[in-house]
Amino acid sequence: MSGSVRTVEVNKLSLAVTVAGEGMPVILLHGFPDSAALWRHQIPALVAAGYQVIAPDLRGFGASDRPAGVPAYRLALAMSDVAGVADAFGVDRAHVVGHDWGAAVAWMYAALRPRRVDHLVAMSVGHPAARAFPSPEQRARSWYVLLFQFAGVSEELLRADDWRLFRDILGGAGDAERYLADLARPGALTAALNWYRANLAPELELGPAPPDLPVYAPTMGVWSSGDHLLTEETMTGSAGFVRGPWRYERIDRCGHWIPLDAPDLVTGLLLGFLGSHRTAPVPRRRR
């Protein structure tokens, strides 16, 4: 992976951030159980195209700090980390690209910090309001989310028999050996699972429905037909919450880890979409 890794202090945490190139910034946000290494195929091409790439290891992942406690992994805090990383590099406005949990953070960042997002690309995970009431099929695919809620027990089950259950969940996809090396470090597995405990605990469905969180940036949603974890409707349903131009790309013969499974196609989509629209004015909020 090209670029240098810098350490940035944000929200009392040390976050590792891969930085490369010059030009219009593109913030790349990974998901579970990844790090900025997810984007290693896209970074050189974005730099060659004249972009500055900023790819943090999100809190709890990679070489970034792993704060203690489930509440430390709420999406609002992760979103604040992204804003802090942007500030650290003097970035007022950027394209934002996210996959998996990184997409969830990106959706929230684009909705709540609209003037800081030029174009948004969300891969695999749709808008939070589109995911508020999962279908039976989506609940079946997300069975592992319930397993992850059992603190201590899920850690032991995932590690057992050379990570057999964890490997089964991955289904042979992604960077399995790199993930296992990362998660074997003290506290790393619990930190990664805490993202699910903080944001997808079953009791959260008993609370009020999430707000619509409209997104005004031009947005591209990307979903892959080989994704065994998420249904297509979680992405296509996001269109109703995007007020700017909306584009949907369905990639066939590709698994959940789209940037790894279809690197050239993803790179082409990014280069063709980023900067392709003028961003619509963001309405001022009423006081």
Distance, CA of 72 to CA of 102 (rounded, Å): 16
Distance, CA of 18 to CA of 55 (rounded, Å): 5
The encoded tokens of residue 177 equal: 């050996």
Distance, CA of 36 to CA of 18 (rounded, Å): 7
Q: Give 183's contacts (C-beta < 8 A, 6+ positions apart).
A: 33, 166, 189, 192
Q: With CA atoms as reference, report the closest residue to 5 among 120, 85, 113, 123.
A: 85
Strands 246-251 and 117-123 turn out to be unpaired
Question: Which of 100, 118, 182, 227 is flagged as catalytic?
Answer: 100
Tell me, yes or no, if 99 is annotated catalytic. no
Distance, CA of 109 to CA of 98 (rounded, Å): 11
Angle at the Cα of 271 (from 270 to 275), degrees rounded to 5? Answer: 90
Question: Which of 30, 118, 256, 261 is flagged as catalytic?
Answer: 256
Tell me, yes or no, if 256 is annotated catalytic. yes
Which residues are marked as active site? 100, 256
